[in-house]
């Protein structure tokens, strides 16, 4: 086999001259995110809107029918008691397929279980150690900043995100944005905003470090203002304020993550503060907020650097957001769980020629392993190729009578 290497700026081309027409090459990428088969959708059959949302999400994402979990309980309340929840959780545990790694919740109400958020109660089970008393700390999440793509297998928890909105059209738009975001590698900006509300700007202590660590990955602006306006490239917006003005002047790119650090943002309806739902209404694809008083502990809110890093690795919105919160017991995650704007994409652009698009938050190297059988053994190619921070395009031509290749980075 002959290999020639040509490097032109960020385009790396591996040229292996193909043989005449009979060879078939199978190329396997590493897993970077959850897939539709990893997610179970929870529906309340007593709520017509929940049923409509769940059915639409199943079709939009190709969720297997066996992953649809149907419950029945009175809809419309913001909170469940721990006893009510534990009864429902037992039913979910009995119905969920063993391979499922995460939940998509097809409703907006309820969003709380006693002193926990619904999404965390689903992940951990109801447990008061995830609640704070007298403004104290809570139990930490083993999923925080984890490299795992199998949280149920590796950490014995299934993180959840709510497909939330005030009506079907809002949730449909949310789902459509998430699906549209996949593999788009958006060239948007991250806005890290330090507001006049110092108590709610505690994350600002880490903004400079975030910009340094992700330099060359995302364009990051650190701004001292109560709101950004007239921006049309918003991919990340992290701020701290009771209410965030001027959202109607912004354009969020599909897949955008946005949240405001405040006490009651996770009270999705009837809150005295801005509901995190307003980020989704404005065009964000996922958000986060606390459902009870968190007392300004940074660990109870997303760390922007961690959310952005895992998103850049190709993680889904659910994974990137969940991995960014150290103490998530009181916080609710809302949005389209499977949005994957930076998931790598491999296309066969002509017979035997492939193009790989990959986004990376760090410098690394591409490794190729080859085998004549899908079962292996796979042997590493002696050549490795650099991957830069940010966007990379790699093209491959393979000259094999038949074979299997695994790409690793």
pLDDT tens digits along 239-290: 999 999 999 999 999 999 999 999 999 999 999 999 999 999 999 999 999 9
Same domain, 390 and 249: no
pLDDT band at 42 (very low <50, low <70, confident <90, very high): very high
Query: Does the residue 343 lie in any domain?
Result: no
pLDDT band at 353 (very low <50, low <70, confident <90, very high): confident
Is 80 a residue whose pLDDT tops 70? yes
Whole-number pLDDT of residue 374: 87
Total of domains in the chain = 2
Same domain, 389 and 267: no
Same domain, 274 and 232: yes
Mean pLDDT of 119-131: 98
Quote the crossing angle between the two packed helices 48-61 and 168-181, to the nearest 10°: 20
Same domain, 182 and 220: yes
**Residue predicted with more confidence, 397 or 247:** 247
Mean pLDDT of 163-182: 98
Please, is 28 exposed, middle or buried when counting C-beta atoms within 10 Å of its C-beta (0-12, 13-18, 19+)? middle
Whole-number pLDDT of residue 1: 30
Mean pLDDT of 368-397: 90
Least confident of 13-27, 88-102, 254-268, 327-341: 13-27
Whole-number pLDDT of residue 23: 55
* Average pLDDT of the chain, as a whole number: 92
Query: Does the residue 344 lie in any domain?
Result: no
Same domain, 11 and 67: no
Whole-number pLDDT of residue 134: 87
Same domain, 380 and 292: no
Whole-number pLDDT of residue 50: 98
Query: Could you tell me the residue range of the domain that residue 56 belongs to?
Result: 36-335
> Which residue in this structure is represented by tokens 């074979």?
403
Query: Does the residue 117 lie in any domain?
Result: yes
pTM of the model as a whole: 0.93
Percent of the chain, pLDDT > 70? 93
Mean pLDDT of 17-28: 59
Same domain, 200 and 260: yes
Same domain, 213 and 355: no
Same domain, 265 and 356: no
Same domain, 228 and 321: yes
Q: In whole angstroms, what is the distance from residue 161 CA to residue 147 CA?
A: 19
Is 20 a residue whose pLDDT tops 50? no
Mean pLDDT of 306-320: 98
Whole-number pLDDT of residue 395: 86
Query: Does the residue 139 lie in any domain?
Result: yes
**Residue predicted with more confidence, 256 or 384:** 256
**Contact (CB, 8 A) for 161 and 334:** yes
Mean pLDDT of 31-35: 97
Query: Does the residue 174 lie in any domain?
Result: yes
Same domain, 224 and 94: yes
Same domain, 320 and 386: no
Percent of the chain, pLDDT > 90? 84
Whole-number pLDDT of residue 399: 59
| Cross-strand pairs, 403 | 25
Query: Does the residue 31 lie in any domain?
Result: no
């Amino acid at each position: 086999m002959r290999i020639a290497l040509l490097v032109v700026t960020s385009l790396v081309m591996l040229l292996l001259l193909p043989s005449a027409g009979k060879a078939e090459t199978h190329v396997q990428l590493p897993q970077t995110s959850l897939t539709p088969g990893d997610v179970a959708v929870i529906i309340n059959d007593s709520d017509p809107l929940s049923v409509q949302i769940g059915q639409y999400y199943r079709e939009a994402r190709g969720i297997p029918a066996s992953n649809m979990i149907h419950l029945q309980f009175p809809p419309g309340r913001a909170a469940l008691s721990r006893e009510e929840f534990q009864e429902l959780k037992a039913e979910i545990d009995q119905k969920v397929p063993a391979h499922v790694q995460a939940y998509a919740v097809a409703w907006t109400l309820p969003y709380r279980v006693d002193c926990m958020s619904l999404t965390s109660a689903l992940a951990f089970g109801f447990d008061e150690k995830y609640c704070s008393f007298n403004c104290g700390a809570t139990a930490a999440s083993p999923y925080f900043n984890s490299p795992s793509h199998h949280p149920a297998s590796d950490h014995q928890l299934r993180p959840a995100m709510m497909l939330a909105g005030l009506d079907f059209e809002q949730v449909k738009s949310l789902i459509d944005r998430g699906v549209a975001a996949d593999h788009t590698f958006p060239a948007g900006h991250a806005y890290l905003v330090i507001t006049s509300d110092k108590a709610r700007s505690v994350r600002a202590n880490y903004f400079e470090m975030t910009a340094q660590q992700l330099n060359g990955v995302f364009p990051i602006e650190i701004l001292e203002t109560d709101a950004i306006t007239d921006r049309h490239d918003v991919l990340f917006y992290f701020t701290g304020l009771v209410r965030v003005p001027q959202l109607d002047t912004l354009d969020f790119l599909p897949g955008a993550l946005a949240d405001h650090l405040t006490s009651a943002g996770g009270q999705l309806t009837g809150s005295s503060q801005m509901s995190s739902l307003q980020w989704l209404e404005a065009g964000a694809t996922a958000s986060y907020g606390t459902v009870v008083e968190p007392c300004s502990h940074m660990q109870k809110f997303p760390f922007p650097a961690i959310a952005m890093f895992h998103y850049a690795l190709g993680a889904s919105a659910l994974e990137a957001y969940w991995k960014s919160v150290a103490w998530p017991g009181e916080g609710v995650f809302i949005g389209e769980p499977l949005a994957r704007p930076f998931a790598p994409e491999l296309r066969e652009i002509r017979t035997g020629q492939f193009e790989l698009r990959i986004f990376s938050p760090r410098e690394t190297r591409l490794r190729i392993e080859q085998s004549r059988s899908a079962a292996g053994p796979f042997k590493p190619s002696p050549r490795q190729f650099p991957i830069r921070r940010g966007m990379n395009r790699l093209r491959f031509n393979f000259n094999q009578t038949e074979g299997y290749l695994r790409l690793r980075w």
